[in-house]
């Protein structure tokens, strides 16, 4: 094992709770971000989703700015911006503005999924001809706007040009792993909801990585659900809010985050529950001892350079406690030996 500490970070899906609203969500987000900063988390990322009654971070860049303004040292960014929904110039200007306001603290994670249903995705697209197939071209265009201005360059991102805004490629597929490797970008894998290709994607990324001006060697992060509590039973109960949300989403009836329940019995068919278990098979749910065992195993298996954790927990105080317990474990982890 290495003596250096393994960086650890937060993904906040900005949950809107049943009987609550987005305003309260953002107040909870700020409190969690401030706690994460005190506890040594390196990054605090927010994800773009649309037409989701249970997710408040649709205007992701706005929320990133709000969180950055309420913190001091933690890096704040997107996990991610769904690039097919936006013109690359607009994203460059938004994150150039954020980087100008909060120098050295802004990350730009981008993905190629729409972050919503097909009908809403069509409403978001800047032109009906846009598609995820143009993602590599859009990504290169986005990168170009952060480069130094060339003589005679007709279009500039102001602010944006010449600024240090790290671009991360996010994904849950082998496509993203190949693209991140070929462009020499840091790579973040979404094993918190799509773990099927985790190890293969990380292997492809490391094997095919091409050094770039952005990154000399591969840097991989993976995100997973961590639900920590003082007892195994309580952690499992907290986890049921996310499980219920997943079931509703897969049925095409997304809604606010529901309170936890004692059991999922009767809430889903055997097939639905099997799919749920498959999607969340990397989740770590339990006491601090269980979380330690799970995280050590995850880091050893994946050999990631950084861990990002997320937790859709209904009770805000329980959520703060979960991230605090996880931090006690994460602060002691070191990267796996290669």
Domain 8-225+303-330, what architecture? Alpha-Beta Barrel (3.20)
Provide the pLDDT for residue 126: 53
Residue ranges per domain, the chain? 8-225+303-330
- Beta partners for residue 304, in sequence order: none
Q: 160-201 pLDDT, tens per residue? A: 999 999 999 999 999 999 999 999 999 999 999 999 999 999
Q: Average pLDDT of 45-58?
A: 95
CA dihedral 336, 292, 306, 73 (to 10 degrees): -140
Cis omega (within 30 of 0) for bond into 64:
no
Q: 211-224 pLDDT, tens per residue? A: 999 999 999 999 99
What's the mean pLDDT when you consider all of the chain?
Answer: 94
Where is average pLDDT lowest: 39-48, 53-62, 111-120, 263-272?
111-120
- The pLDDT confidence band at residue 296, using thresholds 50, 70 and 90, is very high
Look up the pTM and report it: 0.94
Is the pLDDT assigned to residue 2 strictly greater than 50? no
- The pLDDT confidence band at residue 262, using thresholds 50, 70 and 90, is very high
Provide the pLDDT for residue 117: 73
- The pLDDT confidence band at residue 1, using thresholds 50, 70 and 90, is very low
């Amino acid at each position: 094992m290495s003596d250096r500490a393994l960086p650890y970070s937060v993904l906040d899906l900005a949950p809107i709770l049943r009987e609550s609203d987005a305003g309260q969500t953002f107040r909870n987000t700020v409190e969690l971000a401030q706690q994460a900063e005190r506890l040594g988390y390196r990054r605090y990322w927010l994800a773009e989703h649309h037409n989701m009654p249970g997710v408040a971070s649709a205007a992701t860049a706005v929320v990133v700015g709000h969180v950055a303004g309420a913190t001091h040292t933690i890096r704040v960014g997107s996990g991610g911006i769904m690039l097919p929904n936006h013109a690359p110039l607009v994203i460059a200007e938004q994150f150039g503005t954020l980087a100008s306001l909060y120098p050295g603290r802004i990350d730009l994670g981008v993905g190629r999924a729409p972050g919503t249903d097909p009908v809403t995705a069509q409403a978001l697209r800047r032109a009906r001809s846009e598609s995820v197939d143009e993602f590599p071209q859009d990504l290169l265009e986005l990168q170009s706007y952060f480069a130094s201005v060339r003589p005679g360059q007709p279009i500039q991102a102001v602010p944006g040009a010449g600024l240090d805004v790290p671009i991360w490629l996010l994904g849950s597929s082998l496509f993203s792993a190949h693209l991140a490797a070929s462009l020499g970008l840091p790579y973040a894998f979404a094993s918190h909801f799509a773990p099927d290709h985790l190890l293969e994607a990380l292997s492809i990324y490391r094997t095919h990585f091409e050094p770039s001006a952005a990154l000399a060697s591969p840097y991989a992060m993976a995100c997973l659900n961590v639900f920590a509590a003082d007892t195994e039973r309580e952690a499992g109960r907290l986890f049921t809010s996310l499980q219920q949300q997943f079931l509703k989403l897969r049925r095409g009836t997304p809604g606010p985050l529901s309170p936890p329940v004692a059991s999922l019995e009767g809430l889903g068919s055997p097939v639905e529950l099997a799919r749920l278990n498959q999607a969340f098979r990397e989740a770590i749910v339990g006491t601090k001892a269980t979380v330690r065992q799970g995280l050590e195993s995850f880091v050893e298996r994946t050999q990631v350079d950084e861990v990002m954790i997320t937790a859709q927990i209904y009770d805000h105080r329980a959520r703060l406690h979960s991230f605090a317990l996880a931090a006690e474990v994460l602060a002691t982890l070191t990267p796996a030996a290669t």
